[in-house]
């Protein structure tokens, strides 16, 4: 189960990403625990597998519109499906990397995998209850899902 300082590390890692990459702050809503099933995902989801001191997954899920605006904010005009996939993987990887600074070298993160489409679901580790951290940037809503044992 995640502790409060763990959640704070993920919130900070997320806000840092938007402040640096998008040069515009994101706000984070109240984290909540999903008690049944897996949380719904948006159009694009970057998934990071975590091992070491904690095992599980972290994923960043965002709608196409948010990622498109984020690419444009980064002065990238190529908003193809492939670039959106690359971006969502980069966001998940960077947020996890930011958190790794707090958790230390024993927080080992994988290369991101990307899932596109609402119909997909992310496989969660057995017995793990996911924590959803809502992320709001401009008029868009995304989520960071943390499921660590």
pLDDT digits (tens, 9 = 90+) for 117-140: 866 677 888 888 899 999 999 999
User: Residue 34 sits in which domain range?
Assistant: 4-148
Q: Is the pLDDT of residue 82 over 70?
A: yes
Q: Give the three-state DSSP class for 57.
A: strand
Q: Is the pLDDT of residue 29 over 80?
A: yes
Question: What CATH number has the domain bearing residue 36?
Answer: 3.40.1550.10
Q: What is the chain's mean pLDDT, rounded? A: 89
**Hey, what long-range contacts does 81-85 have (CB within 8 A, 24 or more apart)?**
81/116, 84/43, 84/44, 84/116, 85/44, 85/114, 85/116
Given pLDDT bands bounded at 50, 70 and 90, which one contains residue 1?
low
Domain count, the chain: 1
The rounded distance, in Å, linking the Cα atoms of 22 and 36 is 34
Token pair of 3, please? 């502790």
Q: Is the pLDDT of residue 28 over 70?
A: yes
At 120 the pLDDT is 66
Q: Which value, in Å, is the radius of gyration of the alpha carbons in the chain?
A: 14
- Rounded to 5 degrees, φ, ψ at 82 are -65, -40
């Amino acid at each position: 189960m995640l502790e409060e300082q763990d959640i704070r590390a993920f919130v900070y890692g997320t806000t840092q990403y938007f402040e640096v990459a998008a040069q515009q702050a994101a706000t984070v809503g109240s984290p909540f625990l999903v008690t049944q099933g897996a949380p719904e995902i948006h159009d694009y989801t970057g998934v990071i597998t975590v091992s070491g001191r904690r095992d599980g997954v972290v994923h960043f899920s965002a709608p196409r519109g948010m990622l498109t605006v984020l690419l444009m904010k980064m002065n990238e005009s190529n908003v193809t499906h492939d670039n959106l996939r690359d971006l969502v993987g980069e966001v998940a990887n960077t947020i996890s990397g930011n958190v790794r600074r707090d958790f230390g070298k024993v927080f080992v993160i994988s290369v991101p995998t990307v899932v596109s489409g609402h119909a997909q679901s992310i496989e969660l580790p057995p017995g793990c209850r996911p924590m959803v951290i809502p992320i709001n940037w401009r008029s868009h809503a995304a989520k960071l899902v943390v499921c660590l044992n």
